């Protein structure tokens, strides 16, 4: 099973959100339900796989935790009650915060690195390994960035317009658009500031970037359009001006 869990210092058990009437291809804030038994959350849960920050905001401007579910609240409380890890790059230097550990920073509730696990396909060890073992190879361009929550944790959703199917697969619908969970985020809802980073994902995505997706696992969601790539399963090829990244 593949899991998406922030890198807590305090171990948190993994437990197995305004729905839009428009199709997912038109509105990335829509609830995306899992369709695969590999989904890391319980099928009986009412919490969504993805919910945009806008959709998670109550009329009064604060976050509506009831839409995100108990797991999201549990993880958030663990973050704000936790101190991030520190490391020293060299003897005598000032300690720095470990960018992949979760904890409360002065400026935000900081969610660290995503966790990937699998019983049927180990994570890729290199870009070449991912490309060779990928279920599909899709190349396209980012047309939108949406801040929100993936399984209750802050992330950025990349809307990718497919330009070329380098390797097709029956597991991936014949769609012109896919949604990609990317573990970097910085946004606020009401009085709460959220941020997330994962040092394994170096690039900072922007609209217009050309990317190549080499997912080892099939897509999630009721329409099968949501992809959660591992560190080597997304490659940034060019920026909006056509320059190599």
Q: Looking at the domain assignment, is residue 24 inside a domain?
A: no
Digitized pLDDT (tens) for each residue of the chain, 245 residues in all: 344 333 333 223 222 222 322 334 445 655 564 433 333 434 334 578 999 999 999 999 999 999 999 999 999 999 999 988 888 778 888 888 888 999 999 999 999 998 776 667 788 899 999 999 999 999 999 999 999 999 999 999 999 999 999 998 988 999 999 999 999 999 999 999 999 999 999 999 999 999 999 999 999 887 889 999 999 999 999 887 777 77
Residues 6+ away with beta carbon under 8 Å from 10: 78, 81, 82
Whether 3 is in a domain gets the answer: no
Give the torsion sign (CA, 144, 58, 8, 85): positive
Residue 103 · residue 82 · CB < 8 Å? yes
Q: Virtual CA dihedral for 149, 155, 156, 158, nearest 10 degrees? A: -90
Distance, in Å, from the CA atom of 28 to the CA atom of 54, rounded to the nearest integer, reads 11
Which residues is 161 bridged to in the sheet? 141, 177
CATH number for the domain harbouring residue 103:
2.40.50
Please indicate, yes or no, if residue 147 is contained in any of the structural domains.
yes
**DSSP for residue 89:** S
- Model pLDDT for residues 104-132, shown as the tens digit of each residue: 999 999 999 987 766 677 888 999 999 99
Is 244 within a domain? no
Q: How many structural domains does the chain have?
A: 1
3-state DSSP assignment of residue 154: strand
Nearest to 30 by CA among 21, 41, 43, 39: 21
CA distance 81 to 131: 40
Instruction: Supply angle C-alpha 86, 88, 91, rounded to 5.
Output: 155
177 vs 165: CA distance, rounded Å: 12
Q: Is residue 112 part of a domain?
A: yes
* Domain assignment of residue 203, given as a range: 50-238
H or E stretch covering 80: helix 70-80
Q: Is residue 118 in a domain? A: yes
Per-residue confidence (pLDDT) for residue 27, from 0 to 100: 58
Report yes or no on 30 lying in a domain.
no
Burial class (CB in 10 A: 0-12, 13-18, 19+), 170: exposed
Structure-block tokens of residue 220:
């999630």
């Amino acid at each position: 099973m593949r899991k998406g869990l922030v890198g807590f210092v305090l171990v948190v058990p993994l437990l197995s959100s305004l729905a839009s009437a428009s199709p997912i291809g038109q509105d990335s804030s829509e609830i995306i339900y899992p369709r695969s038994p590999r989904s890391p959350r319980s099928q009986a849960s009412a919490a969504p796989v993805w919910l945009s920050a806008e959709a998670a905001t109550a009329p009064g401007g604060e976050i509506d935790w009831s839409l995100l579910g108990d797991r999201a609240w549990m993880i958030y409380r663990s973050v704000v009650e936790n101190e991030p890890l520190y490391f020293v790059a060299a003897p005598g230097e000032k300690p720095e915060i470990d960018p992949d550990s979760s904890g409360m920073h002065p400026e935000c509730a900081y969610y660290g690195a995503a966790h990937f696990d699998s019983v049927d396909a180990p994570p890729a060890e290199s870009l070449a390994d991912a490309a060779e073992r990928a279920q599909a190879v899709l190349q396209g361009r980012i047309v939108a960035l949406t801040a929100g929550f993936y399984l209750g944790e802050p992330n950025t959703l990349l809307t990718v317009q497919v330009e070329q199917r380098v390797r097709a697969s029956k597991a991936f619908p014949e769609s012109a658009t896919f949604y990609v969970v990317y573990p970097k985020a910085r946004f606020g809802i009401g009085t709460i500031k959220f941020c997330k980073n994962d040092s394994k994902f170096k690039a900072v995505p922007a609209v217009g970037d050309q990317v190549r997706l080499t997912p080892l696992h099939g897509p999630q969601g009721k329409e099968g359009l949501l992809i959660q790539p591992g560190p080597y399963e997304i490659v940034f090829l060019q920026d909006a001006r056509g320059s190599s990244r």
